[in-house]
């Protein structure tokens, strides 16, 4: 179900072979069953809804397939300041009352939907299994707050944690950043900004991230329909979040950054049957080419958002454990 591509340079032609995809990779039986259940539920696609309706629908369904919320020593809501002074909601997860290292976690949802509640179970699993604290951020969403609000809110939280983690009883000298989907995009931009500002990060944890300016890779065509995240919904998310003229900006498309040398080591988790898989592979290649250590987990037979399906898909639990182990090792004293 899972194959690991470690930090060594990729085999020439491996990326091309992945992107040609002949024949079409099969879905795992568990993934196929999940998609059948979703179809039977007749949930309306996000692109047929208003952003407000989509948020409500996502919130209602977000944890149906997640593992039960694990009990932790500390689960605390607090606020931290954005660059413009707006107070942002955040949530701390810690498995112990100790001065723990910290992962800033940025949720997915296409920059339009999602929040603290939709990713609560996942954050608990990361804290429980890694032994680190997790701080989840409720960054501002589009279309009310279009690009680059989410980027700036994420960086403000990263910068705040580096300076003020001790006020939470945490170790701000041992920091990582991570996220899933759009949150993975934001985590990648945070890692680049941290490099540029001299802030040392132990790890960037990028789960099924978007990294490219355009939805034009072979995987976007191959998995355009019937694989949970469809092409029309991707366009809907993009249109609500960012103007066409801004889509080449590296803060939206991290693949467009000028260079990657010196950024934090990466753990990149990709789903084989995901429109975003090719750009995730390309991002890993770009990091490796710049001398950055990359652990790449390519999870076979699953779709986008599988990481939040631990109740139904065993590969999700395995991938969560791999993420937690990468965090544990990177954040060790």
pLDDT 10s digits, 44-56? 999 999 999 999 9
Residues whose CB falls within 8 Å of the CB of residue 135, separated by 6 or more in sequence, listed in order: 90, 91, 92, 93, 102, 103, 104, 105, 157, 161, 168
State the pLDDT at residue 20: 47
| Domain at 2-330: CATH code | 3.40.50.1820
Residue in the block written with tokens 């770009």: 286
Q: How many CA atoms lie within 13 A of 304 on its CB side?
A: 30
Residues noted as catalytic: 181, 274, 304
Angle at 318 between CA 314 and CA 324, to 5 degrees: 145
Residue-averaged pLDDT of the chain: 93
pLDDT band at 174 (very low <50, low <70, confident <90, very high): very high
Residues whose CB falls within 8 Å of the CB of residue 44, separated by 6 or more in sequence, listed in order: 57
**Has residue 21 got a pLDDT over 70?**
no
pLDDT 10s digits, 120-129? 999 999 999 9
What would the two tokens of residue 247 be?
A: 């889509």
57 touches 43 (CB < 8 A): yes
pLDDT band at 23 (very low <50, low <70, confident <90, very high): confident
Q: If residue 55 lies in a helix (H) or strand (E), which one and from where to where?
A: helix 51-61
Residue in the block written with tokens 């399906």: 309
**Has residue 146 got a pLDDT over 90?**
yes
Q: What is the pTM of this model?
A: 0.94
On the question of a cis peptide bond just before residue 228, with omega within 30 degrees of 0, the verdict is: no
pLDDT 10s digits, 315-330? 999 999 999 999 999 9
Whole-angstrom distance, CA of residue 97 vs CA of residue 94: 7
Q: Which whole number is the average pLDDT over 92-107?
A: 98
Domain segments of the chain as ranges: 2-330
**Has residue 239 got a pLDDT over 70?**
yes
**Has residue 39 got a pLDDT over 90?**
yes
State the pLDDT at residue 4: 40
Q: Where are the alpha helices (DSSP H) in 72-224?
A: 120-130, 149-164, 182-197, 218-222
What would the two tokens of residue 244 be?
A: 């066409």
Q: What is the CB neighbour count within 10 angstroms for residue 231?
A: 16
Whole-angstrom distance, CA of residue 92 vs CA of residue 156: 16
Distances (CA, A) of 35 to 27, 29, 92, 97: 10, 10, 32, 40
What would the two tokens of residue 257 be?
A: 């950054």
State the pLDDT at residue 9: 30
């Amino acid at each position: 179900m899972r194959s690991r591509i470690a930090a060594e340079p990729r085999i020439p032609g491996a990326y091309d072979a992945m992107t040609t995809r002949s024949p079409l990779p099969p879905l795992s039986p568990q993934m196929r069953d999940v998609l059948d259940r979703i179809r039977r539920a007749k949930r309306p696609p996000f692109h047929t809804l208003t952003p407000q309706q989509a948020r409500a629908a996502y919130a209602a369904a977000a944890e149906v397939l997640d593992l039960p919320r694990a009990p932790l020593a500390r689960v605390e809501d607090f606020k931290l300041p954005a660059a413009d002074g707006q107070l942002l909601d955040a949530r701390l997860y810690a498995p112990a009352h100790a001065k723990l290292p910290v992962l800033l976690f940025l949720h997915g949802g296409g920059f339009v939907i999602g929040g603290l509640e939709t990713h609560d179970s996942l954050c608990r699993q990361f804290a429980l299994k890694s032994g680190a604290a997790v701080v989840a951020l409720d960054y501002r969403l589009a279309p009310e707050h279009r690009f680059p609000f989410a980027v700036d809110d994420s960086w403000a939280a990263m910068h705040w944690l580096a300076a003020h983690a001790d006020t939470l009883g945490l170790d701000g000298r041992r920091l990582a950043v991570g996220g899933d989907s759009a949150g993975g995009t934001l985590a990648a931009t945070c890692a680049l900004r941290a490099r540029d500002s001299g802030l040392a990060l132990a790890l960037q944890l990028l789960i099924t991230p978007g990294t490219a300016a355009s939805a034009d890779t072979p995987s976007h065509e191959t998995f355009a329909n019937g694989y949970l995240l469809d092409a029309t919904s991707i366009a809907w998310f993009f249109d609500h979040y960012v103007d066409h003229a801004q889509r080449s900006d590296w803060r939206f498309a991290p693949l467009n950054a000028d260079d990657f040398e010196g950024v934090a080591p990466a753990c990149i988790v990709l789903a084989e049957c995901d429109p975003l898989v090719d750009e995730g592979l390309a991002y890993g290649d770009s990091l490796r080419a710049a001398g950055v250590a990359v652990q790449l987990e390519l999870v076979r037979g699953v779709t986008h958002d599988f990481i939040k399906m631990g109740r139904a898909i065993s590969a999700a639990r395995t991938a969560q454990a791999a993420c937690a182990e990468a965090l544990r090792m990177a954040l060790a004293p």
